[in-house]
Structure 1
């Protein structure tokens, strides 16, 4: 799985623009949380590059970039959680879940519905 690391507000704006062409899957990860590490590991083990070739996967270390995490919550109108998956399409959050709700199968369904439309 090839994560794009989110490290700046300029990059966040570029990703919002990119989401107009293809879905962006944003994973907000707390490097201090075992549940977050488990959710990340499960997602990475299940990820299928062929199924998700139309998606940009983005990783945010929210401990190191807490301000970006707040900017995402504000800009997308999604309550901050950790760990958290947010699917962004056309500059808007169309799906989000956290903790044990993070599932590759569910994420694939959401993305597949977008790319098949």
Structure 2
């Protein structure tokens, strides 16, 4: 399935209404830590091709990033990954804690 880019609140709301469980990454195109986090999410996604994984670039989609932070009460960080399940953020982490292992553990414990 790979990682799919989401760019608008409308796209996110459609995703939110259709999927029950998925990971969502807030990524910065100018931050080396974000780049490493993105690579870890890619590794995780490659091993879990049936699991939906989405992302946004904060420089391109600031309004969407803020919308997610406000709607779910999770303070914005970048990079940041969130695990959504049944309409709630059930896990999130940021910066160097975004690893293939942390994603695998979060998914296994959902």
Q: For the aligned residues, what is the CA RMSD?
A: 1.7
Aligned residues: 110
* Shift, 1:87, TM fit: 0.5
Whole-angstrom distance in 2 between the partners of 1:67 and 1:14: 16
Deviations 1:52-86 (A, max 9, x none): 52x21001011111000000101111100000000
Aligned counterparts of 2:98 and 2:57: Cα–Cα separation in 1: 17
Corresponding position of 2:13: 13
Unaligned runs of 5+ in 2: none
Look up the match of 1:63. 59
Closer, same or farther: CA 63–7 of 1 in aligned 2, 3 Å:
same
What are structure 1's unaligned runs of at least 5 residues? none
Rounded Cα–Cα distance in structure 2 between residues aligned with 1:38 and 1:75? 27
The CA deviation at 1:111 is 1.4
Cα distance, 1:83–1:50 mapped onto 2, change above 3 Å: closer
- In structure 2, relative to structure 1, the CA distance for the partners of 1:50 and 1:32 (3 Å cut) is closer
Q: Are the structure 2 counterparts of residues 42 and 110 from structure 1 closer, same or farther at C-alpha, using a change threshold of 3 Å? A: closer
Compared with structure 1, are the counterparts of its residues 52 and 113 closer, same or farther at alpha carbon in structure 2 (3 Å cutoff)? Answer: farther
SS at match of 2:76: coil
Deviation at 1:50, TM superposition (A): 4.8
Change in 2 beyond 3 A, CA 1:62/1:48: closer
1: CA distance between counterparts of 2:84 and 2:41?
Answer: 17
